[in-house]
């Protein structure tokens, strides 16, 4: 069998070249990933402990733990998902099920989504600062708090809104691709039973595409958990050992904490173990959130069989 494959490849040099290039590219990517994960694990694991997980930073962040940063990152990702996923789902359903593939409105929206996907993350941060913090927050303070500063400042809510906008293109594209996997025959079968358009979408299309929708959520979580630039302007604090008590509070975020430790610390070399340990915890947190989503997707698939 192997000889037949080799003979076929040698008879077609173009195919064999593409197979070889694909294999080399895959090997390079896997090797880079293994090297990165190995380096982070070897450098960070010795400093990882229960105290490091449950304690707040101490001694100018050169001692103690990262518990406030873990809580802040988790709250950010959860709030971002609650805000962004429904909007992305509704937009994708509208584009695919109601606007149509060749609709002018759908083409305009897709053009906007594609452009948003290419906007640098720091631009989202500047937009979130100017719109959510200075405009929306200031207006809320003027209307309900007599101009006192409560919402017109960086906060968890504004950082989550900004991150939801950042991940929105990923969600829309992923969900729309998932909706395309539902065959027309399944739709027509529901119509033949007397279902309305909305009932077909709600009871047939979305359940069938739910695993792909969760994939979009996984990608959004992965993108949002590691971004630093947007939260830098809209909510993350340099040093804040207390946990956020409301959505109007600032918070510590693990990506920003790593940036601070590696660039702003009074002794960067001394904090390198903390940097690697924090990076390892961030990866584990991201992998855990993704793992939960993957398990949910798998259970949904198994339930259909």
Classify the phi-psi angles of 60: left when phi > 0, otherwise alpha if psi is within -120 to 50, otherwise beta.
left
pLDDT band at 131 (very low <50, low <70, confident <90, very high): very high
Inter-residue contact 275 to 39 (CB < 8 Å): no
pLDDT on residue 7: 55
pLDDT on residue 203: 87
Mean pLDDT of 55-59: 81
pLDDT exceeds cutoff 90 at 126: yes
pLDDT on residue 259: 87
Inter-residue contact 57 to 265 (CB < 8 Å): no
Q: What is the b/e burial string over 69-94, where b = at least 16 CB atoms within 10 angstroms of the residue's CB?
A: bbbbbebbbebbbebbbeebbebbbb
Mean pLDDT of the chain: 85
User: DSSP letter at 46?
Assistant: G
pLDDT exceeds cutoff 60 at 5: no
Which of 240, 110, 236, 108 has the alpha carbon at shortest distance from 162?
Answer: 236
Q: Which residues contact 172 (CB under 8 A, 6 or more apart)?
A: 88, 91, 92, 95, 113
Hey, where are the domains in the chain? 1-47, 67-304
Mean pLDDT of 24-29: 94
> How does pLDDT run across 134-189, given as a tens digit for each residue?
999 999 999 888 878 889 899 999 999 999 999 999 899 888 888 888 888 888 88
> How does pLDDT run across 204-250, given as a tens digit for each residue?
888 888 878 887 888 788 788 778 889 989 988 888 888 888 999 99
CA 98 to chain CA centroid, nearest Å: 27
pLDDT band at 52 (very low <50, low <70, confident <90, very high): confident
Whole-number Cα distances in Å, 177 to 96, 123, 136, 280: 9, 27, 34, 32
**3-state secondary structure at position 236:** strand
Domain 67-304 bears CATH identifier 3.90.1570.10: no
pLDDT on residue 192: 87
From 94-103, 148-157, 190-199, the region with the lowest mean pLDDT:
94-103
> How does pLDDT run across 242-284, given as a tens digit for each residue?
888 899 999 999 889 888 888 877 777 777 888 898 899 888 8
pLDDT exceeds cutoff 70 at 117: yes
């Amino acid at each position: 069998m192997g000889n037949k494959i080799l003979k076929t490849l040698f008879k077609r040099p173009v195919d064999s070249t593409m197979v070889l290039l694909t294999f080399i590219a895959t090997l390079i990517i896997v090797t880079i990933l293994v090297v990165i994960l190995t380096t982070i694990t070897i450098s960070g694991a010795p400093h990882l402990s229960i105290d490091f997980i449950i304690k707040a930073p101490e001694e100018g962040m050169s001692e103690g733990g990262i518990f406030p940063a873990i809580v802040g990152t988790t709250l950010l990702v959860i709030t971002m998902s609650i805000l962004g996923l429904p909007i992305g789902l509704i937009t994708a359903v509208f584009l695919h099920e109601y606007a149509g593939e060749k609709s002018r409105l759908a083409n305009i929206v897709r053009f906007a989504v594609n452009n948003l996907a290419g906007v640098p993350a720091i631009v989202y941060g500047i937009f979130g600062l100017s719109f959510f913090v200075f405009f929306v927050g200031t207006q809320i303070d003027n209307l309900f708090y007599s101009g006192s500063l409560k919402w017109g400042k960086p906060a968890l809510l504004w950082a989550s809104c900004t991150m939801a906008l950042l991940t929105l293109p990923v969600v829309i594209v992923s969900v729309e691709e998932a909706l395309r996997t539902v065959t027309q025959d399944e739709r027509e079968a529901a119509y033949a039973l007397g279902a309305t358009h909305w009932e077909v979408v709600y009871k047939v299309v979305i359940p069938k595409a739910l695993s792909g929708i969760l994939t979009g959520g996984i990608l959004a979580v992965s993108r949002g958990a590691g971004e630093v630039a947007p939260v830098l302007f809209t909510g993350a604090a340099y040093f804040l050992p207390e946990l956020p008590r409301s959505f109007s509070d600032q918070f510590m975020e693990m990506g920003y904490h790593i940036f601070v430790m590696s660039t702003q610390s009074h002794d960067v070399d001394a904090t390198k173990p903390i940097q690697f340990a924090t990076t390892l915890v961030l990866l584990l947190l991201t992998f855990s959130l993704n793992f939960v989503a993957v398990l949910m997707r798998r259970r949904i698939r198994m339930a259909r069989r």
